[in-house]
């Protein structure tokens, strides 16, 4: 594990243990035609906070996003620079591996496909790695990152994201478990070779599809 990963909190230790035990697995394999709730999930109406136990305070003024790696035009976005990009609205459901789901979240932000066009991602790029202000990391394939409903979100329900939910900017990749949606986003790196992140190194599945219960590896 990287030296700069944060110490594991009590919740992180529990979640690592659940990964070993296979907690919340139902063993269901396919998505029933009309199902909106993935197997083993239950609905919540509030929005739980899950992270490594520390909330980095990143104001809009100091926030920077480095977009680097296999791109023709590496860029560093300020918050204003991100707001100057074309804006999209999206509505999606959240599915957390700890078994809660929340329907109909309204997001505002910049689509991942626009970001990829803006920096001109090279053909050799296959994976995307994320680094956050709290030291958290995660990884996606380029196809999952480029999903049409994925975005860099700065607002939820028409208000700026709160600090605990990842302000000023987080990723939202709604078709995967929510650990694949990094908060307090600091760096996006396009690479040829995959590199597991914080939870992927602690027993979570490398992809995290809720519909086939890709909870753990
Ligand atoms: N930077 C960062 N992003 C993160 C995490 C984290 O600890 N740090 N936790 C992940 C996990 S495990 C989940 S379930 C969601 C929780 O997001 P929420 O607190 O907004 O519900 O954020 C994900 N993104
Ligand atoms: Mo999570």
The chain-wide mean pLDDT, for the chain, equals 95
10 lies in some domain: no
19 lies in some domain: no
22 lies in some domain: no
pLDDT, tens digit, for every residue of 116-141? 999 999 999 999 999 999 999 999 99
Q: Which of 15-29, 86-100, 163-177, 199-213 has the lowest mean pLDDT?
A: 15-29
78 lies in some domain: yes
pLDDT, tens digit, for every residue of 12-63? 999 999 999 999 999 876 667 678 999 999 999 999 999 999 999 999 999 9
From 9, 48, 164, 183, mutation site for ligand 1 pocket: most ligand atoms within 8 A of C-beta: 183
Distance CA 182, CA 77 (A): 17
Q: Is-cis flag, bond preceding 15, omega within 30?
A: no
Distance CA 181, CA 166 (A): 10
Q: Does residue 136 have its Cβ closer than 6 Å to ligand 1?
A: yes
136 lies in some domain: yes
173 lies in some domain: yes
158 lies in some domain: yes
4 lies in some domain: no
Give the number of domains in the chain. Answer: 1
> Phi and psi of 21, rounded to 5°?
-85, -15
Domain that holds residue 117: 40-48+59-212
Q: Residue 71: which CATH number?
A: 3.90.420.10
* Closest-approaching ligand to the CA atom of 58: 1
């Amino acid at each position: 594990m990287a030296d700069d990963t944060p110490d594991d909190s009590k919740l992180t230790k529990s979640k690592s243990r659940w990964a070993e035990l296979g907690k919340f697995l139902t063993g269901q394999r396919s998505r029933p035609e009309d199902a909106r709730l993935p197997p083993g999930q239950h609905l919540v109406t509030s929005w739980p906070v899950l992270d490594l136990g520390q909330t980095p305070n990143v104001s809009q003024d100091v926030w920077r996003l480095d977009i680097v790696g296999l791109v023709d035009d590496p860029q560093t976005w300020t918050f204003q620079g991100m707001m100057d990009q074309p804006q999209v609205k999206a509505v999606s459901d959240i599915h957390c591996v700890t078994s809660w789901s929340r329907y109909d979240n309204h997001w505002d932000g910049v689509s991942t496909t626009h970001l990829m066009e803006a920096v001109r991602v090279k053909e050799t790029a296959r994976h995307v790695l994320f680094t956050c202000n709290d030291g958290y990391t995660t990884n996606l394939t380029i196809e999952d990152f480029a999903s049409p409903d994925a975005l860099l979100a700065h607002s939820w329900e028409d208000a700026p994201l709160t600090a605990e939910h990842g302000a000023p900017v987080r990723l939202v990749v709604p078709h995967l478990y929510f650990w694949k949606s990094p908060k307090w986003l600091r760096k996006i790196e396009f690479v040829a070779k995959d590199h597991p992140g914080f939870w992927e190194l602690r027993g979570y599945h490398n992809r995290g599809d809720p519909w086939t219960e890709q909870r753990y590896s």
